[in-house]
Amino acid sequence: MKRRRMNQVPLFSSAGELANLVVTSNLTDISWAMILEFRRGQSALPCSVQPMVYDPTPNEPNRTIVVFAPSPDSTQYALSQGGDLVPCPEFDFLCTKGCPSVSINRAALTLFTPLYGHLSALKNKLNKREGQLIITGHSLGGSIASLFTLYLLSSMDKESKCRPICITFGSPLIGNFGLQHSHWNSFFVHVVSNKDPLPTLFLPSGRSAPTSSHSQATAYKPFGTYLLCSELGCACFDDPDLILKILTVASSEVAGGVLQVVDYGEILRNLKNRAICKGTQPVGERFAYPFSDGIVMELKTIGIDPAKHNIDITRMEAEARALAKKTNASDAKELNDIKKYMVMLEWYKKKSKEANKCYYDCFKNGDFQRDVRIEEFVGQLTTYWEDMVAQAERKPQKEGASFRTGWLQSATTFRRMVEPLDIAIFYRDGGRDYINNGRSPLYKLLQKLYDEAAKNPPDSKKKNVSVLLTDDSCFWAHVEESILSCQSLNHANSTPEQRESSWKNLVKFGEYVTKQIENFAVSPEIFLEQSTFMKWWRMYEASIDAFRNFYTSPLVNFMKSHKYDDYGLPEEA
């Protein structure tokens, strides 16, 4: 009973209210006014494509406006080049896992490419500015405004005090990349009238330019927030599939086949009036289903009939419901949970050490499992980090990278703590060659990220090694492989070749361990009497005696002379 009531918590769609906020604020007005102002001054230069920068004024000391409004001639020329998608490596910083190479429509590139040098200089100049930066443009001008904004975002660092927003009017879709999982998505507002054929010009159901092939055109992905408007009102959406659908519907309903010029100034004036108008609608009554009723109202306002056009409102509501669950409070809870699990593991490690064992071996043998539900915590932690990695992968490369640096250190601690446990299970269950057969993609990726980030080798000062985790999270896999090598060396049926190769492996392993010890990169726990490492050493020592008498190496000396007793102890001791 209670559960049912919980499920019925009403949801709302704020698409209409967000759109009202945008049109009643002066943001769109200013942008449009500046486009008009630029056009007026531009008439002398028929072929200009370059943007105009309006610097801060005494009245608006914190605001820079960049207007992209190519002349009608240049726009016509560019449009005649067609809207097929052209690979564009300059924008590969937008690549995500789902979109391995970026393509951009030919018309926009026709205008953008010649400006590249100029825009690069402009980008560097604007990057250093503080305060608001409005980047705006109409039709194809809006497309280059968007491209320029992306270009600017890619070069901005966290310290930058420049706050950009890109506002376009009636611009065609640009490319095949989405920004759904990127923070960058929030910097774009695209105003599109349902009377304007241009935004959907390159979509298959629109009146496609003859050069564009359909298979390519469907690859277009909208990004940012679309402020979709009709004479009756407006609504803001940011779901790319829905936007694409609405645009497609609108394009098929635009009267005639002629490219008519849409006056966005007039549209904005009308929307502003409507925002404070209740109109002739009947008096409102309580809505039984505020979300679906609201969204139907919003869609109808912009000329879309959800039933007729097959828009799945139930799905939208389900998505909204899932999103509503994630709050700052739930994030705080998750983060604390992760901390807690790591503390549990640390304790397990400590408890093992008190029993004179390595936590690797304890886990392998199933000691103390009842005290701490280690496997459960390992599972939770792994899920958490897989999710973080996936989130980073959905973001554009550049942004994903800075997202990752935020948590790479915690992820590394996680890897060093938890991977040995996975290795333990792998070899306990009779696995061989963990690194090639058993290692999960998560660890491989985290390792790769760590190696890339650690340009400077970690300071190998003698720290308080006793509490440290072993740097190389695959250390135990190497130990286990060496045990297998020892076994192969000792095995009666081994061929001389096998013996030779095993011996080589063992020598290599010895060198590896020596290096780890020199760098204080292994935890002293490995030298505990019952550890798998010591087990290996005893086997190895016996093999040396049996096969290569008098063989010596730094590791053999280290081990034979019991130098490990002092390993990791403070210098004074």
Partner 1 sequence: MEETVENLIIGLNDGVISPAASLAMEAHNSPSKLFLVKKIRHLSVVVLAFRGSMLPNDWFGQRGHSPFGETKIDTGKFPSVRSLNDGGDAVVNGSFLWRFNDVLDKLSHAKELKKAIEKKRQVVFAGYSSGGPIAILATLYFLENQTFSPRCLTFGSPLVGDRIFSHALRREGWSDYFTHFVMKYDIIPRIMLSPSSTEHEQILNYFKSKLDRKNINPAPPSGFYLTVMGNASSVASYEACHLMGCRNPSLDIIKSFIELSPYRPSGTYVFCTGNGNLVVVKNPNAVLQILIHCAELGESDAAEVEKRSLDEHSAYPNELKDSLGGMKAVVYLDVDPANDLGLSPQAMLCLQAAEEFENRRSRNLENIRTDRNYKEKIEDQLEKQRKYKENAQISRLGYYDSFKLQKEDADFHANVSRLELAEIWDEIKEMLKEFELPDDFEKKPEFIKLGTIYRRLVEPLDIANFYRHSKDKETGAYVISRGARPKRYRFIQCWLEHHEKKLFGSRSESLFWADVEQLGIDIEKKGYLQEIKDRIHQLERNLIACIGDRSLDDDVLLENSTFVKWWRALPLEYKSQSDRIDNLIREKAAGV
Give contact residues for partner 1 (rule: CB under 8 A): 9-14, 16-18, 20-22, 24-27, 132, 134, 163, 165, 183, 185-189, 224-225, 236, 238, 272-273, 275-287, 290, 293-294, 297, 320, 323-324, 327-333, 336-337, 339-340, 343-344, 347, 350-351
Q: Specify the residue for token string 């959907």.
A: 200
CA angle 84, 87, 93 (to 5 degrees): 130
CB of 50 to partner 1, least distance (A): 25
Between 217 and 268, CB nearer to partner 1: 268
Residue 141 and residue 108 in contact, taking contact as beta carbons nearer than 8 Å: no
Residue 133 and residue 163 in contact, taking contact as beta carbons nearer than 8 Å: yes
Between 344 and 421, CB nearer to partner 1: 344
CB of 412 to partner 1, least distance (A): 17
DSSP annotation string for 332-378: HHHHHHHHHHHHHHHHHHHHHHHTT--HHHHHHHTTTTTTS-HHHHH
Between 464 and 552, CB nearer to partner 1: 464
Between 320 and 507, CB nearer to partner 1: 320
Amino acid at 160: S
Between 344 and 388, CB nearer to partner 1: 344
CB of 13 to partner 1, least distance (A): 7
Between 130 and 545, CB nearer to partner 1: 130
Between 101 and 273, CB nearer to partner 1: 273
Between 237 and 426, CB nearer to partner 1: 237
Between 396 and 510, CB nearer to partner 1: 396
CB of 297 to partner 1, least distance (A): 6
Residue 381 and residue 342 in contact, taking contact as beta carbons nearer than 8 Å: yes
The number of CA neighbours under 13 Å toward the Cβ of 71 is 13
User: E-strand spans in 12-91?
Assistant: 52-54, 63-68, 85-87
CA angle 200, 109, 120 (to 5 degrees): 130
The terminus-to-terminus CA distance of the chain in angstroms comes to: 67
CB of 251 to partner 1, least distance (A): 24
Beta strand 63-68 pairing with 233-237 = unpaired
Q: How far is CA 28 from the centre of its chain?
A: 29
| Tokens describing residue 158 | 């966290």
CB of 345 to partner 1, least distance (A): 11
Query: Coil, strand or helix: which one is 475?
Result: helix
Residue 111 and residue 49 in contact, taking contact as beta carbons nearer than 8 Å: yes
CB of 333 to partner 1, least distance (A): 5
Amino acid at 363: F
CB of 395 to partner 1, least distance (A): 13
Distance CA 283, CA 291 (A): 19
CB of 236 to partner 1, least distance (A): 7
| Tokens describing residue 527 | 């030298």
